[in-house]
Amino acid sequence: MRDYLSDPRFSGVERFNKKIWLSSPTMHGDEQRWVDEALQTNWVSTVGENINAVENNMARFIGAPYAVALSCGTAALHLAVKLAGEKLNGKSKPGRGVLEGKKVFCSDMTFDATVNPVCYEGGEPVFIDTEYDTWNMDPESLERAFEIYPDVRLIILAHLYGTPGRVDEIRAIADKHGALIIEDAAESLGATYKGRQTGTFGDIAAISFNGNKVITGSSGGMLLCSDIEDANRVRKWSTQSREAAPWYQHEEIGYNYRMSNIIAGVVRGQIPYINEHIEQKRAIYLRYKEGLKDLPVRMNPWGLGESSPNFWLSCMILDSDAVAPFVRGENDQLWSSETGKSSPGEIIDALAFFGAEARPIWKPMHLQPIYTGNAFIVRDGSGRARTNAYISGAAADVGADIFRRGLCLPSDNKMTQNEQDRVIDIIHRCFK
């Protein structure tokens, strides 16, 4: 971290006396009641009223027919991939992934939990480039991917930062090619498109109650589906695939992925506050939009006309000609300052110095060392992943461009207006 106290651009700026988080848990008190009840009645394992309530309440809130409570969003994505894989390829053999040798079209600019489950099941993610209007999967690149790999039957689509993706176009392409869609709605709980919540557009969907999401159970996640038999299979897999027998009888491989009734108590207490948290995050987004409008930057997209995001994280992207010299290697970065310009590296570093947490955009999967051998499909041709694509500024690589110019701003719903004004002031000084 640089020393910003000796930088005249920041003269008079004081450090925050308590840390301003990117997005931290917000408890309300009801959580304690349901956790206490679980402890007092000794329902502390993976069966109990809190789990039932969370499954019913979330299914109703989202408008999904069935919801299965699991240990985390990653577990939900894994079982979603397994379920989709069995629908497409039949039952897997023990020790063999159900997607072995199969390619899966995946969002590229996302958290790696979106795509790793494909590998858990022996599949091969093929990354689909991002588009600027939603910062999510680009339907044109997806269409191209089907031209190159016509046999693919599974798509995993994430709704990044709470902005719904182009679900109509992607559904039409999937139907045309007989493919299933898994929706990763981990970040977008409560966001809607044409009045329908994310998590209801895919054949299967996953949400997350990780500590930094819109609501949290400290951990936890959920699989959403529309078929009761699918829901029951996932419940069975998540509790070690026990058959209905007097002893532990096993006909298929199982997992220990069920949510505990204690965690479910925390989630149960949070559910009534989803809309309040979204309102607070919307206000934060709008204040940034107003407060940063005189700078050469834009906010992350609101999305399509009929989208209502959940504003999980407020992000901004610098105009191309407002980025000061800035390079990233695999594990480090360098930047220099120029009047009228700045860079994500500098802004994140300056905010951290004064005590506020900002973060780079999710580094696209095709730029990740584990996935450099995987195909990456862009609008004007199929590109192999090139780790230096973002340095060379390849025009077609939208994900690399957003990663290079963008950043996530402090978006904690407990941040006061005054604290946010100070964050906005620090960002302004970076451009001086």
Task: Mention every residue, 6+ apart, whose C-beta is less than 8 A from residue 304.
Answer: 133, 134, 164, 166, 193
Helix (H, G, I), strand (E, B) or coil at 60: helix
Question: CB 408 → ligand PLP: shortest distance, Å?
Answer: 11
Closer to ligand PLP by CB, 110 or 307: give it.
110
Question: CB 259 → ligand PLP: shortest distance, Å?
Answer: 11
Question: CB 97 → ligand PLP: shortest distance, Å?
Answer: 19
Closer to ligand PLP by CB, 144 or 221: give it.
221
- Enter the tokens of residue 30: 């009801």
Cα-Cα-Cα-Cα torsion 304, 220, 73, 271, nearest 10 degrees, comes to -20
Question: CB 49 → ligand PLP: shortest distance, Å?
Answer: 22
Task: Mention every residue, 6+ apart, whose C-beta is less than 8 A from residue 247.
Answer: none
Question: CB 116 → ligand PLP: shortest distance, Å?
Answer: 9
Strand pairing partners for 137? 130
Strands 307-308, 192-193: pairing is antiparallel
CB 205 within 8 A of CB 223: yes
Listing DSSP states for 327-338 in one string gives EE-SS-EEE--B
Question: CB 356 → ligand PLP: shortest distance, Å?
Answer: 21
Closer to ligand PLP by CB, 59 or 223: give it.
223
Which strands make up the sheet holding 406-408, listed edge to edge?
A: 297-299, 315-318, 406-408, 359-360
For ligand PLP, the binding residues (CB under 6 A) are 72-74, 110-111, 113-114, 158, 184, 186-187, 208, 210, 221
Strand pairing partners for 299? 316
Closer to ligand PLP by CB, 111 or 354: give it.
111
Closer to ligand PLP by CB, 190 or 221: give it.
221
Helices (H), 41-196: 49-62, 73-89, 116-120, 139-148, 167-176
User: For ligand PLP, which residue has the nearest CB?
Assistant: 73
Closer to ligand PLP by CB, 200 or 208: give it.
208
Strand pairing partners for 210? 218
Closer to ligand PLP by CB, 137 or 186: give it.
186
Helix (H, G, I), strand (E, B) or coil at 418: helix
Angle between helices 139-148 and 167-176 (to 10 degrees): 20
Q: Measure CA of the first residue to CA of the last residue in the chain; give whole Å.
A: 19
Q: How far is CA 347 from the centre of its chain?
A: 22
CB 366 within 8 A of CB 396: no
Angle between helices 417-430 and 344-354 (to 10 degrees): 130
Closer to ligand PLP by CB, 89 or 197: give it.
197
Question: CB 426 → ligand PLP: shortest distance, Å?
Answer: 26
Closer to ligand PLP by CB, 307 or 342: give it.
307
Question: CB 147 → ligand PLP: shortest distance, Å?
Answer: 27
Question: CB 162 → ligand PLP: shortest distance, Å?
Answer: 10
Closer to ligand PLP by CB, 159 or 429: give it.
159
Question: CB 44 → ligand PLP: shortest distance, Å?
Answer: 21
Helices (H), 101-227: 116-120, 139-148, 167-176
φ/ψ (deg, to 5) at 250: -130, 125
